[in-house]
Amino acid sequence: MHSHPLESERRVTDSALRGLQRDFHDFVTHGQTRIGNAIAAPDETTRDIRLAVYGEAYYLRLAEALQTDFTAVAALLGQDSFADLTRRYAAAHPSQHPSIRWFGRHLADFMATTTPYAARPEWGEMARFEWAISLCFDAPDADALGVEDFAGIPAERWPQLRFGFHPSLNRLDLDWNVPVVRKALLQQDAEAVTLSRNAYPRAWLLWRGELNPRYRSLDVHEAWMLDSARQGLNFAALCDGLTEWVDAQHAAPEAASKLKQWVVDGLITSAAIPEGG
């Protein structure tokens, strides 16, 4: 059985179109020039100019995306150095996701392992912090429990309670004072504070509240309690673990106090006893 001539012609046309699309993609992402033969132009110079317009537009869109997600990093590096970072990063990590939103997901690791940025670990840590903020903003939504939801839980059920957390919640341990510096940079008050290394890593909590990313530092025992609760420890185990920092008689009240703050912040989405206890 033979195919219709028009059907064969359509397959050839589709194949040629896919080839053009592939060649154009290779040009804007890797500088390959095969697409040049398909550009209508009176001469080679005009052809190169026309290609450059598209290539530069692609790069500028990527640069805009990075500038949006890494405002403080751009301010720290300055316009020229950030532009150079963008080109080098784009060459090492071409955009591969259908949404440009995810283009910057490797930037922090790239800066931490690439000269000359690796020599300034505070820059890479700022990138990691800003990316975490953007993840909070884009995370799925979920209904958070209120204080009133806990009021009716019988006392005998509390020890076995395990908690679920809002999808926007994120935790970072930071060696540098990047949250403070970022705030100053965004307020155009960069001279008020400078980057400095903490005496020890500081724990930070990030989440989305009322449609806006939020963050605050945590003391050591709250950071442990939050991390452990997210891993599935029940309330009794959390209280027991807190005795490393507080007296046993104060452990339950301290745990309840931290839990209440999480509820007020909109971080808790469930409190239940799993099947089997």
Q: Tell whether 124 is covered by a domain.
A: no
Question: Would you state the pLDDT for residue 211?
Answer: 85
Highest mean pLDDT among 3-7, 58-62, 80-84: 80-84
Q: What is the CATH number of the domain that holds 223?
A: 3.90.930.50
Q: Tell whether 51 is covered by a domain.
A: no
Give backbone dihedrals phi and psi of 197, rounded to 5 degrees, phi first: -85, 135
Q: Tell whether 254 is covered by a domain.
A: yes
Question: Would you state the pLDDT for residue 77?
Answer: 94
Q: Identify the band that residue 193 occupies on the pLDDT scale cut at 50, 70 and 90.
A: confident
Q: Tell whether 277 is covered by a domain.
A: no
Domain of 206, in residue numbers: 147-272
Is pLDDT above 60 for 5? no
- Measure Cα distances from 112 to 65, 84, 104, 172 in Å: 20, 16, 14, 16
Q: Tell whether 73 is covered by a domain.
A: no
Alpha-carbon gap, residue 72 to 128, rounded angstroms: 11
| pLDDT tens-digit series, residues 197-236 | 999 999 999 999 988 999 999 999 999 999 999 999 999 9
Q: Tell whether 83 is covered by a domain.
A: no
pTM: 0.82
Q: Tell whether 120 is covered by a domain.
A: no
Q: Tell whether 109 is covered by a domain.
A: no
Domain count, the chain: 1
Is pLDDT above 60 for 12? no
Is pLDDT above 90 for 55? no
